[in-house]
Structures are given as C-alpha cells and as structure tokens.
Amino acid sequence: MIIPMLISSALFVTPVKDTVWWDTPGGKVTAHSDPTAANCSLMLYDDNGSVTFTWDNSGKIIVTAIDPNWQFPDNWTVPVAMQLGDAWVNNGANSAVIEGVGHGSAVSFATDQPIGDLLSPADHIEVRTAKAELSVNLSHPKLGILLSQTGKCRDTIKR
C-alpha cells in the first residue's frame, strides 16, 4: 500500500528547469522555470561572497547576499543597506535602510529600484547590516555582458 502511494505522490512532483544564459568567473545569469512561474537571476560574486538579484515575471526584485562568515538566526528581521558603486539602493521611501530577513549565511530583501541602471557603472557592491558587511568587487567588462544577458532573460519570462 505504501509503494503505490509513493509512486502516485511522485507523479505530482513538478521539475524546475534551470537554463544558464551566461556563466563567467564573477557572474552568472540563470532562468528558473516551472509550470506556474519563471524568474531570472543575476549572481555576482568574488572570494568574499555573492549577491544575487532575482526578477520574477512581475518585475519584482529579490536580493540575496551570502557571506560564509555570517551567522543569522533563521527568519531574523535585520535592517540592511546596499550600495552599488556610489549609489545607495533605497526602500522606496528615500531611506537607504531596507528591512531584510536573515537566515544562516544569507540575508534577503526586496527592492523595486532599477538595479540594472544602478549596477551598470558600479565597480563593487556593498551590503551592510548592523553587525556584518560584505563587499563584492565587480569586473566591469564582464558586467556589461551579464546585464545584457539578464535583460534578454527577463524579456523571455515576460512572454
């Protein structure tokens, strides 16, 4: 009786398809899709850690910064500030402090800022919390290609 139940429940598992649009040392663009949703992510990284920007097909952006040295409690609310080059990302109310959620070595938050426009001239990304800071250096020549591929990926998921 257990085996038929396991087989029938396995039929309802829907695979997630990942398509890598571009992969280079320091950055990666990936499309993620399943039958109900799709999103595109741009991950920028160096030896210090990574920052991933994920756009869904509504245009919402989730930012996730990972530093292996961080140790946040799960679902811990934490104020976050993020700087892309000289520009500060704001919370939509002209404050650089954005409410984030920490979990292990990562902190995530949402933004509606034009990330591509802010990243384009940037040479680094800084993510700061009250007790931790991550700085990721960017390769400017690679960044242009990564942003272009991110735009193509986002155009595809809007269809």
Q: DSSP secondary structure string, 99-157?
A: EEEEEETEEEEEE-S-HHHHHTT-SEEEEE-SS-EEEEE--HHHHHHHHHHHHHHHHHH
Q: What kind of architecture, by CATH, is found in domain 2-157?
A: Sandwich (2.60)
Over range 74-91, report the average pLDDT: 93
- Domain locations in the chain as residue ranges: 2-157
pLDDT, one tens digit per residue, over 108-124 is: 999 988 899 999 999 99
Give the C-alpha separation, 19 to 13, whole Å.
19
Residue 1, pLDDT above cutoff 50: no
pTM above 0.75, yes or no: yes
